[in-house]
Amino acid sequence: MSPFTYIAVALAVISSVIAAPAPVAPEATLEKRITHSGRGTFFNVGLGACGKPNVNSDHIVAISSSIFGSGGNCEQFMEITNTANGKTAFGLVRDSCPGCGAGDIDMSPSLFQSLGASLDQGVMKVSWHFKPKGFHP
């Protein structure tokens, strides 16, 4: 074989190694994000269904009892958007809302106001989704 053939074979081997896909680590999985929509209201917080005391200045969320279930989303952050003005904020799930529909949420007064609504308004349309467990804004 000529030296040119050896160089061509070597380049072919090197390029096939470089072009090979990199292995994906098992923990590098994507979570499907489900965006919910419904009514957003506010309530005066206290000891929530997650067993933690809260104050109105905390960004606290109560989710519908049907989603809350046995509390699997306790201490999980949500990203909430006021669909009327586009403002977003993060809230921490710490309570259930028995009177809420599946997409409805009840928020602490400070969280409600951070979305650009006054307490006199009382209700807003929201969209929201859970952030991955362990997320902190």
The pLDDT-based confidence of 24 (bands split at 50, 70, 90) is low
Cα 19 from chain centroid? 35
- Residue range 69-91, pLDDT digits in tens: 999 999 999 999 999 999 999 99
pLDDT at 122 over 90: yes
Q: Tell me what the mean pLDDT of segment 109-130 comes to.
A: 97
Distance CA(50)–CA(56), nearest Å, equals: 16
Distance CA(90)–CA(78), nearest Å, equals: 6
- The whole-model pTM stands at 0.76
DSSP state of 126: E
Cα 27 from chain centroid? 19
Q: Are 35 and 127 in contact (CB under 8 A)?
A: yes
The pLDDT-based confidence of 26 (bands split at 50, 70, 90) is low
Judged by DSSP in three states, 63 sits in: strand
Residue entry with tokens 């994906």: 24
